[in-house]
Structure 1
Amino acid sequence: MDSFSTKVVVVGSGSSGISACFELYQRKVPFILLEKGDKVGGAGKFGAHGVFAINSQEQNKRHVKYGYRDAFNGLTNYNHYFVNGELLSRFLQKSGANIDRLSEMGLPVTVEQSEQKAHLDDPLVYHKFNNFNEKMANWDKLPALFTAAGNKVLLETAAVDVEYDNGLTAVIAQTKEGQKITIKTEKVIFADGGYCGNQMMLEQKYSDAAEFLNLGERKSDGRGIRIAQALGADTRHNPVLFAHGCAPSRTINPMRRESSVEALTNLPLLWLDQTANRFVNEDVVYDFAMWGNAAHNVNGKYYVIVDQATIDTFKKTTVGLEDTFERQFCDVGQTPKTTVGPLPNIQQDFDNAVKTGEVVKAGTLEELAQKLGLPQQALDKSIAKYNDAVEQKQDKTFLKPAAELLFTVTQGPFYAICEHCAILGTLDGVNVDRNCQPVREDGSPIRDIYVVGNNANGLYSDGYPSYEGIANGFAFVSGWIAAQEAIKSLN
């Protein structure tokens, strides 16, 4: 068994882990970074486009009035006071300074209008990475910076246990090949991203887990949470799913942007749940978190119903509906399109998706109901009622705007896009104090251990809120807090 010795071990190199390492590096505290994957980065690197912050220098220059009082009261009320007030406060008060740290790390951001159409009139709190590809490249440069200062970065190496006797003495790691490594250390920071890669843990907490479309870091298997729990950490908390939009599959999803089928899933067309009923104002598509929550609320799956006439329209013309993900893939300063189409390949894309089962096609509504296992009477009633709303330009039940009531479903063949609740991760795990130390059920901290990012409870009651970039912002700040507290304790 190999062995090393260092002051701090950081587990995971996503936003929270890389932030902790950067603070240790700047303060010249020796550390070893363990990364389970073959490259550094987690959800914050590969998926996130920005961070939430208040009172940043950029916001102050633009005279943004939304500050600590607004954010603290807003998040506390949003979560019905089921929050760790001290941790929330500390995060918010450090969030502005974190923007300067990101620039120092080579990850500059610019305060910008929200990426989501539903939040275009929100206060300017979203700070978007200036260039997504440059962010990825600069993240990859950080390990060389750390190792040049004498620290170690061990890729394809996971923390599997700790040695703890009235305090931490070692972290036990394991390489991809199964070789065990003992790292003698005084502190450990668990930044390994929650448990979205552990199907058993997901199924224990979510009855619809089998329907989830997991777009998160599946290497995040909850190991850090489970190690802290074994040491006596309190893990009692409502499950908090990082629901974020919906899509048919990993091949037809907004991360790929390759199929016209995906484009139609990102629009407020007709949605029916697994009982053939409408369940929401489809305009919720313009709010990623609420869209995902709406699907989660109907057992993780629903259908987008369109007819041949609708597909033909998108093939030939420009439709005055905005693709909800259009803004996300614009770099800072780019102007988004607010229309969709023409989509010349849409028929071929739908035909291909029928072959893979991501879309179900039927000549009649009766056949569609049979293929989907839907009650015929409910399907007929839902479609008739929706068609009437389109014709009258008035949605009396769900109040969808008249400008979005564009397409009836009347002309076969008919198509059902099979949509799944997409997740970027999980947001519950270990109860921590304001210093990101895990606490026991009596509230006492477990010393020498720190739990950060998506591993930590305290910011959310039961779901990801519509504060764009807050999970990523908290990840960076909580990693920073944990490193500062570890250094303080070492000293």
Structure 2
Amino acid sequence: MKSLNTDVVIVGSGSSGISAGFELYQQKVPFILLERGDKVGGAGKFGSHGVFAINSQQQKDKKVKYGYQEAFEGMTDYNHYFVNGELLSRFLKESGENIERMEQMGLPVTVEQSEQKAHLNDPLVYHKFNNFTGKMANWDKLPKKFEAAGNMVLRQTAAVNLDYNDGLKAVIAEDSNGQKIRINTKKAIFADGGYCGDQEMMAEKYTDTDELLNLGEHKADGTGIKLAKKLGANTQHNPVLFAHGCAPSFQINPMARQSSVETLTNLPLLWLDQTGNRFVNEDVVYDFAMWANAAHNVQGRYYAIVDQETLNTFKTKEINLEDTIERQFCEVGVEPRTTVGPIPDIQADFDKAIQSGEVVKAETLEELSEKINLPLAALKRSIKVYNQAVKNKKDDTFLKPADELLFGVKDGPYYAIIEHCAILGTLDGVNVNRNCEPVKRDGSPLKDLYIVGNNVNGLYSDGYPSYEGIANGFAFVSGWIAAKEAVKSMNNEEVKN
């Protein structure tokens, strides 16, 4: 077996891994960064648009009043006290300084109002990447800096095992050719992003796994969680899905912005679950986390129902509804569009989606009921009640605002967009202490190991909350914490020796 030597092994090059690497690079501590994929980066690089923080210098300059007390009490209360209070506290207290660190990393962000319509009046805590394309390029420069300083970045190489006996001896890795590598090391930081890429783990925890649209890192297969559990780490926690928005399929991906089918997905039209009933105020579309949670709550799939008249209206007119994804694609300082249409290609887009299966078309409600397997009586009742709400501009059940009750479902042809709960990953795994060390059931730490980012339990009770950028912010900060603690531990060991 090939053998290498270093002080620290970092597993994963997403937000938490790259942050840990930057801290070690600054402190001139030798490390090896393992990346399973052929490119550096994870969900934080390829999908995230910003990070959460409090008490950053930018916030201080703007005299933002929302600080530690509000954030700590808000998160604790939101999660019904099912939180790791020490870890949450440390994250919040270091989140502001992390904003300055990110600028040093070449990943500058600017505090500005939330991207999402539902959060426009929230406290000013969201720090958005100044330039999404620039972020991608600058992320790729970091491994080059690491390597220039004498560290190793091994792509297409995954951790597969640990040599551990009352302390870490080595990380066993494997490259894409099946070659095993023994990396003798003092510390290991597992930043490999949860387990959304392990179908068996997903199915064990989520009954709607087959319906979920996985937009996360499929290479995140729970390795860090599994290896920590094997050594006795406590992995007991409610499953926490990183649910974020909804979409018809990978063919009509919200990140592509190429189909008006996706545009209608992002509006508060009529939604029915798999029993043919409405299940939520469709205005929830304006909060990505809650939108996805609503879909997850009805087994991961629902249907957006429109008629031909609705399509014809969008084709020729400007509609006073906001596309919920619009703000996400605006660079810092750019004003988003707050209307939709005209969409001259809408019929062609829907016809194409019918052929590929993302949309079902039917001339009658009876035919639609049969094609998408909805109970006909429930389907007819739901449409009748919704049409009355549109007519009266009053939604007695779900309380949708009157100015969003614009389109009834009257005459065929009818169209059903098949919607799936989209996920960016998972947010549960290993219980850790405030230093991001995995702990056993008695609370004692497994020394020499650190678990960070989406591998960690303790920030969320049962779902991703509406604190924009919280997962990515925690990833950067937890990687930083782990690296600092690893260095501190090694220095203490040297003093003792």
Q: TM-score range by the shorter chain?
A: over 0.9
* C-alpha distance in 1 between matches for 2:354 and 2:230: 47
Q: Distance in 1 between matches of 2:89 and 2:408?
A: 49
User: What is aligned with 2:457?
Assistant: 457
CA distance in 2, matches of 1:115, 1:296: 22
1:181 to 2:200 alignment: no
Do residues 192 (structure 1) and 195 (structure 2) align? no
What secondary structure does 2:171 align onto?
A: strand
Q: What's 2:495 paired with? A: none
Task: Measure how far apart 1:253 and its partner are.
Answer: 2.0
Secondary structure at the counterpart of residue 91 of structure 2:
helix
Question: What whole-Å deviation, never above 9, does each CA across 1:420-466 have from its counterpart, x for those lacking one?
Answer: 00000000000000000000011100000000000000100000000
2:300 corresponding residue in structure 1: 300
Q: Residues 222-237 of structure 1 correspond to what in structure 2 (within 5 A)?
A: 222-237=222-237
> Secondary structure of the residue that 1:171 maps to in structure 2?
strand
- Determine the C-alpha separation between the residues in 1 that align with 2:253 and 2:298: 20
For normalisation by structure 2, the TM-score amounts to 0.99
Note if 1:165 corresponds to 2:169.
no
Which residue of structure 2 lines up, in the alignment, with residue 115 of structure 1?
115
| 1:87-102 to 2 correspondences below 5 Å | 87-102=87-102
Task: Determine if the alignment matches structure 1 residue 281 to structure 2 residue 281.
Answer: yes
State the SS of the aligned residue for 2:394. coil
Amino acid at match of 2:162: V
Structure 1 Cα separation of the partners of residues 136 and 28 of structure 2: 25
Q: Secondary structure of 1:113's partner?
A: coil
Tell me how far apart the structure 2 counterparts of residues 372 and 85 of structure 1 sit (CA, whole Å). Answer: 46
**Counterpart amino acid of residue 360 in structure 1:** V
**d(CA) in 1 for partners of 2:387 and 2:38?**
51
Q: What are the equivalent positions in structure 2 for 1:208-357 lying under 5 Å apart?
A: 208-357=208-357
- How far apart are 1:2 and its partner, in Å? 1.2
Partner of 1:131: 131
- Counterpart of 1:32 in structure 2 is 32
Measured after TM superposition, the shift of residue 250 of structure 1 is: 0.9
1:60 aligns with 2:60: yes
For residue 484 of structure 1, what is the aligned residue in structure 2?
Answer: 484
Structure 1 CA distance, aligned partners of 2:445 and 2:232? 10
Give the letter aligned to residue 61 of structure 2: K
Where do 4+ consecutive residues of structure 1 move more than 6 Å?
none
SS of the residue 2:80 aligns to: coil
The gaps in structure 2 that reach 5 residues or longer are: 492-497
Distance of 1:411 and 1:133 partners within structure 2:
45
Deviation at 1:254, TM superposition (A): 1.1
2:153 aligned counterpart, secondary structure: strand
Name the residue aligned to 1:360: 360
Please name the residue that 1:421 is paired with. Answer: 421
| Letter of the 1:277 counterpart | N
Cα displacement (A) at 1:95: 0.2
Aligned-partner residue type, residue 96 of structure 2:
G
Letter of the structure 1 residue corresponding to residue 226 of structure 2: R
Please report how far the alpha carbon of residue 255 of structure 1 lies from its aligned counterpart in structure 2 after TM superposition.
Answer: 1.1
d(CA) in 2 for partners of 1:289, 1:160: 33
> In structure 2, what is the Cα distance between the partners aligned to 1:143 and 1:436?
23
SS of the equivalent of 1:422 reads strand
String of CA shifts for 1:155-207, please: whole Å, max 9, x gaps.
Answer: 00000001001100000000011111000000000000000011110000000
Alpha-carbon offset, residue 344 of structure 1: 1.0
CA distance in 1, matches of 2:374, 2:192: 41
Counterpart-to-counterpart distance in 1, 2:283 and 2:357:
26
Cα shift at 1:489: 0.4
**Which secondary structure state, in structure 2, belongs to the residue aligned with residue 306 of structure 1?**
strand
Percent of pairs with identical residues: 73
Paired letter, 1:433: N
Comparing 340-349 with 101-110, greater Cα deviation is found at 340-349
SS of equivalent to 1:163: strand
CA distance in 2, matches of 1:380, 1:112: 44
SS state at 2:367 partner: helix
**Alignment partner, residue 207 of structure 1:** 207
Task: Give, as a single letter, the amino acid of the residue that structure 1 aligns with 2:74.
Answer: G
Paired letter, 2:59:
Q
Deviation at 1:251, TM superposition (A): 1.5
Q: Could you tell me how far apart the structure 1 residues matched to 2:347 and 2:177 are?
A: 46
Task: State the aligned residue count.
Answer: 491
Shift of 1:283: 0.1
- Partner residue, 2:494: none
AA of the residue aligned to 1:399 = L
Give the match's secondary structure for 2:174.
strand
Q: Whole-Å Cα distance in 1 between the matches of residues 351 and 200 of structure 2?
A: 35
How is 1:360-399 mapped onto 2 (pairs within 5 angstroms)? 360-399=360-399
* Inter-partner Cα distance in structure 2 for 1:52 and 1:167: 34
> How large is the RMSD of aligned CA atoms in angstroms?
0.4
Residue aligned with 2:325, SS: coil
Tell me what 1:438 maps to. Answer: 438
Per-residue displacement from partner, 1:195-247 (whole Å, max 9, x unpaired)? 00111100000001110000000100001100000010000000000000000
Residue aligning to 1:74: 74
**What is the aligned partner in structure 1 of residue 156 from structure 2?**
156
Distance 1:357 1:7 in 2: 52
CA distance in 2: counterparts of 1:343 and 1:141, whole angstroms:
40
User: Secondary structure at 1:271's aligned position in 2?
Assistant: strand
Shift of 1:345: 0.9
Q: CA deviation at 1:35?
A: 0.1
The alpha carbon displacement at 1:411 in A equals 1.8
Q: What does the per-residue CA deviation read over 1:314-343, in whole Å, with 9 as the maximum and x for residues that have no partner?
A: 111111000001000000000000001111
Displacement of 1:130 in angstroms is 0.2
Code of the aligned partner of 1:55 = N
Question: Counterpart of 1:42?
Answer: 42
2 CA distance for matches of 1:255 and 1:456? 27
Deviation string for 1:13-62 (max 9, x for gaps)? Answer: 00000000000000000000000000100000000000000000000000
Q: Secondary structure at the match of 2:389?
A: helix
